[in-house]
């Protein structure tokens, strides 16, 4: 059954490209999010001091990831009575861990609104996919934030769950999705989440360590095929890899910045606090709205290249 994972991942990938994440679909991440909010509330009642909240944060992580993996494993054991059922159920589960179409669609919506000249609506559209304050962003900053988000989320929304899916099937991929959801909900370095989200933030960094560092090589290949600057893509990814407060984000952002020959990074507002970020890439030219579509193309081709390379490695190893 081990090599079935290649077939399963291809089906899951195609499902993601075709269906994406419909708003009416009961996506597992929504259930994970509800579990996090419920558990966090209970933990905050019991754990009060900063030290206690850090301990509570580890408990929050353990409950969320453990329960997600347990439920996923239970579903597989109950429903996968043969290989055919395994392929169907596993493909559906793994499809929900990928965000290729959803990520591209949200970015394209921002592009389309920008082209109408409606900055206020563009800011609102952007606020759906970023954690930063969008209320005062100008057109250039909206474009930059969108490009950065697509680049960064190519790792944790596509490459990471895909890699873990190949390694440990639906159970490990869903466990990763729980890890990443915890980070996106409580992994902030501010007064509210700095302690309870400490474990979630650190473990997410560990989980994305390898995917973040191999993604630039996939992006370099994609950039070459698409006719972008592939040499500068990998050069900037390596040169500016430390120009981000996250140990992982600058790799993919740098690869995209180099490929498009633009500059990303800089100061942003998060929850009312000004957060300075070093710049990534060289300002060979100004960002333009079409860079959103170009980043989408890089993201799409990067995901397919990763799928093929992971499949070849899996076939050889297993």
**Residue whose C-alpha is closest to residue 75's, from 62, 63, 86, 61:** 86
Q: Is 67 helix (H, G, I), strand (E, B) or coil?
A: helix
Burial 195-230 (b: 16+ CB within 10 A, else e): bbbbbbbbbbbebbeebbbbbbbbbbbbbbeeebbb
Task: Indicate the range of 107-116, 267-276, 277-286 predicted with least confidence.
Answer: 267-276
Task: Dump pLDDT digits (tens) for 142-194.
Answer: 999 999 999 999 999 999 999 999 999 999 999 999 999 999 999 988 899 99
Q: pTM to 2 decimals?
A: 0.94
How far from 302 is each of 84, 151, 214, 222, CA to CA, in Å?
A: 29, 10, 11, 6
Give the rounded percent of residues in the chain with a pLDDT score beyond 90. Answer: 86
Question: For the chain, how many structural domains are there in total?
Answer: 1
Domain containing 129 equals 1-317
pLDDT tens-place string over residues 101-152: 999 999 999 999 999 999 999 999 999 998 778 888 899 999 999 999 999 9
- What is the band of 2 on the pLDDT scale with cuts at 50, 70, 90? low
**Residue 290 CB: number of other CB atoms within 10 A?**
12
Residue 274: its pLDDT value, please? Answer: 66
Helix axes 290-317, 249-260, angle to 10 degrees: 120
**% of residues, the chain, pLDDT over 70:** 97
Helix (H, G, I), strand (E, B) or coil at 241: coil
């Amino acid at each position: 059954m081990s090599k079935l994972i290649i077939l399963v991942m291809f089906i899951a990938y195609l499902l993601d490209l075709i269906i994406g994440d419909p708003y009416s679909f009961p996506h597992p991440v929504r259930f994970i999010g509800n579990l996090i909010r419920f558990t966090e509330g209970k933990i905050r009642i019991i754990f009060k001091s900063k030290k206690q909240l850090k301990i509570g944060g580890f408990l929050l992580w353990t409950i969320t990831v453990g329960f997600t993996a347990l439920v996923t494993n239970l579903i597989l054991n109950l429903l996968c009575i043969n290989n055919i059922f395994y392929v169907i159920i596993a493909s559906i589960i793994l499809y929900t861990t990928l965000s290729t179409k959803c990520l591209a669609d949200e970015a394209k919506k921002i592009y389309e609104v920008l082209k109408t000249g409606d900055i206020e609506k563009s800011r609102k559209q952007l606020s759906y996919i970023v954690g930063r304050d969008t209320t005062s962003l100008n057109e250039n900053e909206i474009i930059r934030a969108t490009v950065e988000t697509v680049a960064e989320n190519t790792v944790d929304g596509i490459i990471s769950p895909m890699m873990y899916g190949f390694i440990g099937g639906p159970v490990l991929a869903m466990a990763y999705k729980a890890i990443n959801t915890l980070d996106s909900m409580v992994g902030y370095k501010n007064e509210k989440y700095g302690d309870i989200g400490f474990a979630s933030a650190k473990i997410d960094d560990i989980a994305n360590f390898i995917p973040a560092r191999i993604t630039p090589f996939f992006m370099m290949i994609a950039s070459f095929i698409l006719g972008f600057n592939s040499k500068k893509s990998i050069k900037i990814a390596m040169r500016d890899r430390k120009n981000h407060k996250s140990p992982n984000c600058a790799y993919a952002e740098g690869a995209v910045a180099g490929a498009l020959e633009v500059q990303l990074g800089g100061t942003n507002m998060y929850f009312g606090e000004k957060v300075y970020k070093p710049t990534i890439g060289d300002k060979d030219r100004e960002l333009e709205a079409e860079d959103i579509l170009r980043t989408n193309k890089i993201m799409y081709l990067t995901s397919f290249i990763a799928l093929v390379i992971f499949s070849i490695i899996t076939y050889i190893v297993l």
